[in-house]
A and B are shown apart, each in its own frame.
Chain A
Amino acid sequence: MTSQSPFTRALTDPAQPVPAGLVSPRGTADSKRFAVYRNNVHVSLVGALAARFPVTRQLVGEEFFTGMARLYVAQTKPKGPVLIHYGDSFPDFVAQFPPASGLPYLPDLARLEAAWTEAYNAADAIALAPADLSTIAGDALASLDLTLAPSTRLVRSGFPVGTLWSAHQTTPVSIPALSGSECVLLTRPQAHVRLTIIPPAACAFLEAIGQGRTLGQAAEAVLTVFPDFDPGAALVGLAGLGAFTTLTKELADV
């Protein structure tokens, strides 16, 4: 019996001949017929990457992107049929892809796009509203453990990737200055993903909260690095962007 193993090997390695036992109606092996399957696999998976990394693609052009994506597809197949997760390791591949080294911001831009899809598909949750915090006394607030919303993502970059990404959401694209680091926060407060460039101190604060520190511990840690940091303002701002889930009953009663 023609096993699916040689079929798969020939499918993913164009150097291999058409597997034995596969024929045209003339009874002969036919490379163009088998090439339809090879092409379907590559084109559909490159298409999945193009859909997840549209700005990366715009930045390098379609031809370059397709060439880069084909190499990724050749070495990394989806783990399963849910393609919204396909390409999680594509940003790391871009970082190691020598022809892209002239665009040092490209891997982080791709990381931002990967995170955007995660935020888009993350579980629904009710966001903590800034007003929810106003009822909590100061010392209770300091001992509060907030939970990040399932859609909250942070991307830190040595390049202004948030600004660069935003510039590509409109036409014509006006290319921003490509220097300066950025902390990009993705949230999904209502129906849509929202991108906000936040100050480094607020980013460190959010990371500390995400690591399970109480608000008081997180504020203290950030203040040692950023003495001017205002935890109260940051908390209200981040909550307003939908970065946290609502308090459970138990916590709200603290």
Chain B
Amino acid sequence: MPFDTLPARPGLGLKPQHYAQILANKPDLGFFEVHAENYMGEGGPPHRYLAAICENYPLSLHGVGLSIGGEAPLDRDHLKRLRALVERYQPASFSEHLAWSSHDEGYLNDLLPVPYTPQTLDRVVSHVDEVQQVLGRRMLLENPSTYVLFEESTIEEVDFLAAIADRTGCGLLLDVNNVMVSAVNHRLDPVAYIDRFPVHHVGEIHLAGYDETTDDAGERLLIDAHGSRVRPDVFERYRHTIIRTGALPTLIEWDNNVPAFDVLMDEVRLVGEVLDGTLNRRLAS
């Protein structure tokens, strides 16, 4: 059966090492999310498994390579590949990043930062318009985690994202770990960021674990690492977010040093408690 919206429940990133276990046990989960680029081979086991999983769960298709923040025009071939995937799997959601990752030298495989100016805003708006036109659907755009600031930036990130959503009609993906990483890295208040975030546009939340190091001045520098449990301070901001927004589809992202499936389900349980708690409070009030 097709799913056209993600349920306001916990979801997990789908990893090949868990395919068989998921199909055998059908764990109780709201949805699975995959990186679109990992399913752009022509055939074989990845598609076979994804098709089987889509028969049982809603799918969130999450792109990591479109370079929406890039100075160059969007890669038409890549857009076509995305459209083919959307047509084939009919995901409940498609999302991408406010970042760039391709340049003349090739694909750099990282989500690189964009300065926030009226000119870059126009460019990102036109790229999001193009994506939505080619895919024939609304997309979600994710807030980035960043390690540097641009001197030329004149617009605050929250306002930049809100303007993109207002001008293109796209939704937003609020990554609370990214909020925490950027807030610590740039000496900002993560709660103030969340409280100003245009939550009526948010269609999904991401949670992940960060790593920690220091910068040249010996000050705390958080790294968006996706290789551990969600840190307690991120969970606390997530709880704060959900109280403000109500229950939202919430993904646990764990892409490096992927643990046993049971560890992921333990994170899912914690997310479920936050979502259920919000629901109960709303019903009680």
**A residues bordering B, Cβ < 8 Å?**
1-5, 7-8, 11-12, 18, 21-28, 30-34, 36-37, 40-41, 44-45, 47-48, 77-84, 119-125, 150-151, 188, 191-192
Contact = CB atoms under 8 A, between A and B. Distances in A.
B85 to A, nearest CB: 11
A125 B42 CA distance: 11
Contacts of A191: 45, 48
A37 B45 contact: no
B110 A41 contact: yes
Contacts of B112: 4, 7, 11, 37
Nearest to A26: B217
Contact of A121 (B41, B66, B110, B219): B41
Contacts of A45: 109
B262 interface: no
Given A47-B256, A48-B109, A124-B43, 6 more contacts: A21-B150, A22-B148, A24-B217, A25-B185, A122-B44, A191-B48
Nearest to B145: A36
Interface residues of B, number: 55
Contacts of B149: 22-25
Given A122-B42, A124-B47, A33 B147 contact: yes
B110 A44 contact: yes
Given A8-B103, A41-B108, A30 B215 contact: yes
Given A77-B107, A80-B65, A121 B152 contact: no
7 contacts: A4-B103, A31-B216, A78-B106, A81-B65, A122-B44, A150-B43, A188-B44
A22 B70 contact: no
Interface stretch (B73-81, B162-170, B191-199, B235-243): B73-81
Nearest to B218: A32
B171 interface: no
A192 B149 CA distance: 47
Given A37-B110, A80-B107, A2 B150 contact: yes
A1 B115 CA distance: 9
Contacts of A22: 148-151
Interface string B74-105: 01011001000000000000000000111111
Contacts of A82: 37, 40-41, 65, 81
B40 A84 contact: yes
Given A12-B105, A191-B48, A122 B43 contact: yes
B217 A81 contact: no
B285 interface: no
A97 to B, nearest CB: 21
Given A41-B108, A44-B109, A83 B215 contact: no
Interface of B: 37-38, 40-48, 64-67, 70-71, 75, 77-78, 81, 100-110, 112, 115, 117, 119-120, 147-152, 185-187, 213-217, 219, 221, 223, 256
Nearest to A120: B44
B147 A37 contact: yes
Contacts of A83: 37, 109
B106 to A, nearest CB: 3
A123 B43 contact: yes
A-B residue pairs, 10 tightest by C-beta: A81-B65, A121-B41, A77-B106, A124-B43, A123-B42, A40-B110, A78-B107, A8-B103, A123-B43, A22-B148
Given A81-B78, A121-B43, A24 B215 contact: yes
B250 to A, nearest CB: 25
B106 A79 contact: yes
Given A31-B216, A33-B148, A44-B110, A80 B43 contact: no
Contacts of A5: 103-104
A226 to B, nearest CB: 33
A32 B214 contact: yes
A7 to B, nearest CB: 7
A1 B119 contact: yes
Contacts of B117: 1
Contact of A81 (B101, B150, B215): B101
Nearest to B77: A80
Given A22-B149, A32-B216, A124-B47, A41 B100 contact: no
Contacts of A79: 106-107
A209 to B, nearest CB: 21
B222 to A, nearest CB: 10
B105 A34 contact: no
